[in-house]
Amino acid sequence: MIKVQNLTKQFGPKTAVSRVSFTVERGEVLGFLGPNGAGKSTTMRMLTGFIPPSEGSIQVGPFDMLEQPIEAKRLIGYLPENAPLYADMTVYGFLAFAAEMRGFSGDAKKQAVQRAVEMCFLESVLHQSIDTLSKGYRHRTCFAQSVIHDPDVLVLDEPTDGLDPNQKHEIRELIRRMGQKKAIIFSTHILEEVEAACTRAIIIDRGQIVANGSPQELKQKSEMAGAVTVHVVNASAAEIKQRLGAIAGARKAVIVREEPPRIIARVLPQGAAADGVLARQVFEALAQPGWKIEELHTEEGRLDEVFRRITLPDTTQETQKP
């Protein structure tokens, strides 16, 4: 549905986005991750035809965004960052306007508005002025305008920003449900959101793609991926460390915490181990008379760790500059 190639955007001497390429097919939900100022919003603005790229091409369905912008834009629903709205309108007035702009009129317009209102739970504020709405409702109103024409492609810039946990959950569910039939791209810096709603994630840092894969694949890049954590009671820490360190597939064994009489230890694997192999080895190594294993589990890896490792925080970025 979406094919982006070598997308580059320069603002004066500053390169905001540099040679970004990716594709999103129908049925995919692509999470766009990155620290603030990494170029997420700029990429989305180019994708939706708001700003022209300095270089590169954007293909939406069969249309090229630069050659046939109107046709391409027709296929896209867009929720810009911070959910901008015409504050002087009512929710109904605004959605009716959006529907008209998308070519609906008469009964079809009413139905389109009705459908979007039901999808985003806006019935109770339908005739309220937008400037009196809470942030959650404002966000949902803007979200409703992006799906009013049931678009094939949805581009959502931080769709859950500023919402409370329940609302976040609702929006995530909505994205996941719609993702089965549409091509969706959404940006966020909430990592759990990526795991909850995405089929694939891209991490972008300082304008460049630094990782691209399913949330599972990304988690594999974590140092923690495949590590085995074990809770043992009535044992000596030094002996545990020594025994665990001697395991063939272990790169390193550490004592995470001591909570007498309990000791929590972790073994990091040497490369990618087969499922359950390391856990079995750990179990065998610690099967000593008197020692009691209370808990034993294999870590999946953690996205936040991967994220931190491959994106540099703003502060180091400043100090690294010559």
Partner 1 sequence: MKALLHIKTIAKRELTGYFASPVAYVFIVIFLLLTGFFTFMVSQLFGRGEASLSAFFLWHPWLYLFLVPAVGMRLWSEERRSGTIELLLTMPITAWQAIVGKFLASWLFLALALALTFPVVLTVNYLGHPDNGVILCGYVGSLLLAGGYLAVACMTSALTRNQVISFILSVVIGLLLILAGWPPVTQMFEQWASPWLVEGIASFSVMTHFDGFQRGVLDTRDLVFFLTMIGFCLFTTGVIIRGHRAG
Instruction: Pick one of 18, 43, 141, 145: the residue that binds partner 1 (CB under 8 A).
Output: 145
Structure tokens at 233: 């009671």
> 307: closest CA among 237, 239, 219?
219
50 interacts with partner 1 by CB under 8 A: yes
What is the rounded distance in angstroms from the CA atom of residue 146 to the CA atom of residue 153?
10
Burial 126-160 (b: 16+ CB within 10 A, else e): eeeebeebeebbbbbbbbbbbbbbebbbbbbbbbb
Near partner 1 by CB under 8 A, which window of 100-108, 217-225, 237-245, 304-312?
100-108
- Please report how close the Cβ of residue 73 comes to partner 1 at its closest, in angstroms: 4
129 interacts with partner 1 by CB under 8 A: yes
- β-bridge mates for residue 10, sequence order: 15
66 interacts with partner 1 by CB under 8 A: no
Which residues, including other chains, have CB under 8 Å from residue 315's CB and lie 6 or more apart? none
120 interacts with partner 1 by CB under 8 A: no
State the distance between the two ends of the chain, measured CA to CA, in whole angstroms: 41
- For residues 93 and 213, which CB has a smaller minimum distance to partner 1 in the complex? 93
- Please report how close the Cβ of residue 174 comes to partner 1 at its closest, in angstroms: 19
92 interacts with partner 1 by CB under 8 A: no
- β-bridge mates for residue 15, sequence order: 10
Provide the mask over 16-45, with x wherever binding to partner 1 is found by CB under 8 A and - wherever it is not. Answer: -----------------------------x
> Cα separations (Å) of 284 from 86, 232, 263?
65, 13, 17
**Under rule CB under 8 A, how many of the chain's residues touch partner 1?**
36
- For residues 54 and 214, which CB has a smaller minimum distance to partner 1 in the complex? 54
109 interacts with partner 1 by CB under 8 A: no
80 interacts with partner 1 by CB under 8 A: yes
Near partner 1 by CB under 8 A, which window of 82-90, 111-119, 160-168, 222-230?
82-90
103 interacts with partner 1 by CB under 8 A: yes
- Please report how close the Cβ of residue 207 comes to partner 1 at its closest, in angstroms: 13
Instruction: Pick one of 5, 57, 82, 288: the residue that binds partner 1 (CB under 8 A).
Output: 82
Site of interaction with partner 1 (CB under 8 A): 9-12, 45, 48-52, 69-71, 73-74, 76, 78, 80-82, 84-89, 93, 97-98, 100-103, 129, 142, 145
